[in-house]
Amino acid sequence: MIHWKRVQTGAEWGLFYGIISWLLAFGFSNQLYKKEVWFIILTRMVSGIILGMIRLPFLWWIKGLLVGLVVSLPLACSQVHWPDFGWTKGFVVTLITGMIVGLLIEMSIRNKYNKKPAAEEQE
């Protein structure tokens, strides 16, 4: 069963972290096109929506890292061809930030809807 409040919270945190990721990418290159900016923001927002929807039998932090990695993979592959990016600034950094954002979104959802904070929770 999907709890829509969790999905909404995940989407909101995904939008927030998407804007933060865009600002970080803007620090690498000021030559980002509109479609690239929207791709960055929407990728992070999709991470939040997926994390709000699914309930996997993994630990919360493993779920956040996995979803962040999988959802950021298309963005990372496309950033290899963007100007001023490449394998190190584009691919690797995007996967790492995607995993961090997935972890932060899952922790934010857990802290809002669970009785115990995510740092004290043991599954």
Residues in the chain: 123
Confidence (pLDDT) at 101: 93
Confidence (pLDDT) at 99: 93
Domain that holds residue 55: 4-113
Question: Whole-prediction pTM value?
Answer: 0.81
Cα 21 from Cα 97, distance rounded (Å): 8
Residue 122 lies in a domain: no
Residue 118 lies in a domain: no
Query: DSSP alpha helices (H): ranges in the chain?
Result: 4-28, 34-53, 60-79, 93-113
Residue 120 lies in a domain: no
Residue 96 lies in a domain: yes
> At residue 34, does pLDDT exceed 70?
yes
Residue 119 lies in a domain: no
Residue 107 lies in a domain: yes
Q: State pLDDT tens for residues 40-91.
A: 889 999 999 999 998 878 788 899 999 999 999 988 888 777 666 667 767 8
Residue type at position 55: R
Considering its fold, how many domains does the chain have in total? 1
